[in-house]
Amino acid sequence: MSAIQYTAAELAERFDLLVKGDGGRLVDGVGTLAGAGASQLSFLSNGKYASQLAATRAGVVVLSAADAAGCPATMLVAADPYVAYAKIAALFERLPAAPAGIHPSAVVAASARVSASASIGPCCVVGDGAVIGDGAVLGPHCIIGEQCTVGAQSRLVARVTLVTRVTLGRRVLVHPGAVIGSDGFGLAFDRDHWVKLPQLGGVLIGDDCEIGANTTIDRGALDDTVLEEDVRLDNQIQIAHNVHVGAHTAMAGCAAVAGSARIGRYCMIGGNAGVLGHLELADRVTITAKSLVTRSIREPGEYSSGVPLQENLLWRKNAARFKHLDEYARRLSVLEKDSDND
């Protein structure tokens, strides 16, 4: 098989970029500014790496017009170099083709509907009433429960479980170990013991979403848990029952959203951040890493909580003082009143 190659001019035309330098320069792969070779393309989008530009051996570099001075390589000038690089790098990704059909080791219920163009991998289980759309791919050991739907061109990489009443839209990518449609954490306390609430809803996931490895999305108690189109979830995220996540929102690893919270469109939630239940976040809200959202946010913007990292001795002193914060506030209030009376 011949190597994948593009000229700088071909890439510029395909992605509407400006070429500066040798438009005939061939590119057969991508790499970092520090590690790329003469036949590879790299990019500069973060000023922290600007010092590596002058010494790069990359044949082609994607960058902004503001960073073009001093670049020794052919340049592809982009309004957003990171986006342009992402689109170019995708040309060099070649996933193994999944053969259409059902692997002999798979178990498919008689009432399931599987498209002839879908690929059902080794040891998969497809339950009663499930629907597998055109060109969908189920990797090894996936379990598709009763009344679940996998939309056209969606790909479940491996060991993905759709428990029950889960609907995936078109072109959804689900990484290994994800569990979608499991019971939400619904309990009522009856004098001296817990009573489990039945989880009667489902999960609706829109087109072009991505679900990270070992992420869990619980089905709704009554209404469905919903992810609108183009939501991107990193690894090990918890989405509780009846959560609604707006389109184009992204969450980093280990974030958690409690039950019945509503996240707006175009939001970004940092790693290990948490959103308490029944709260609402407006569109275009950014929550920085390790923050805890304890109230609804009505206006777009960037929000943070938590204590920044400190030298341990200073942190211990401040932690001890924190216990006296209310006392200090009361004493300050008295002093301010005495000052006003003077």
Residues classed as catalytic: 241
Amino acid of residue 328: Y
How far is Cα 143 from Cα 158, in angstroms, rounded to an integer?
9
User: Do residues 210 and 229 make contact, with C-beta atoms less than 8 angstroms apart?
Assistant: no
User: Do residues 235 and 253 make contact, with C-beta atoms less than 8 angstroms apart?
Assistant: yes
State the alpha helices, DSSP H only, in the chain.
8-15, 81-89, 312-322, 325-341
Give me 34's structure tokens. 């520090």
Please report which helix (H) or strand (E) contains residue 293, including its range. Answer: strand 292-293
Q: How many CB atoms lie within 10 A of CB 105?
A: 12
To the nearest 5 percent, what fractions of the chain are helix, strand and coil? Answer: 15, 30, 55
Q: Is the dihedral of CA 55, 59, 62, 68 positive or negative?
A: positive
CA nearest neighbour of 238 among 222, 260, 253, 223: 253
